[in-house]
Amino acid sequence: MAAIYKISEDSYDEHFTLIALHSSREDHSLVYALNSYLKIKLKRAVKDLEISPNGSFPFFDWRDEIHDRYYTLISNNSVAKEELNVGNLFQDLPSFTAYSLIPEYKEVDYFLKVEHDELDVEEKILKSVLSIPKVITAYSVDANKLKSRNNLIY
């Protein structure tokens, strides 16, 4: 008889900082600013993160080998075009549906996720992000309290 091994959520303890960003910048412009202010090198991932068949979220990532950190910037909002197959007056007009990566924070534009082992890095990163022009506000989010925490595992 073979043994069965299961990984429980208690043994999966990934420590990361999650920062919510409100900004009027486009994603490529925000990435350029983050790279300049945080001295990192975020690049667009080859494939977007797809949570559902209609919702795809562009993201940027970079692994800092020197400080053993992994940075990810992901858009919280996605708009998908849907065709209406209903025989009515507006059948030829496309319909657009908005999706959120983290529905509890629909008003947030982007999330910056930093995987690290250090204790004091969160405040330093947050201070640098808040100094970027056109970043309206940024704040830390406790990922353990999110219902949709699994959407952050990518």
Q: What is the pLDDT of residue 109?
A: 94
- Measured distance between the N- and C-terminal CA atoms of the chain, rounded to whole angstroms: 34
Query: How many Å apart are CA 55 and CA 69, to the nearest integer?
Result: 28
User: In whole angstroms, what separates CA 119 from the centre of its chain?
Assistant: 21
pLDDT value of position 3: 59
Per residue in 64-92, pLDDT (tens digit) is 999 899 999 999 988 776 666 666 666 66
85-144 confidence digits (pLDDT tens): 666 666 667 777 778 888 899 999 999 999 988 878 889 999 999 999 999 999 999 988
Report domain extents, the chain.
16-152
The predicted model scores a pTM of 0.80
Which CATH fold topology does 16-152 show?
Answer: TATA-Binding Protein (3.30.310)
**What torsion, rounded to 10 degrees, do the Cα atoms 142, 119, 45, 51 define?**
-20
Confidence check: pLDDT of 59 > 80: yes
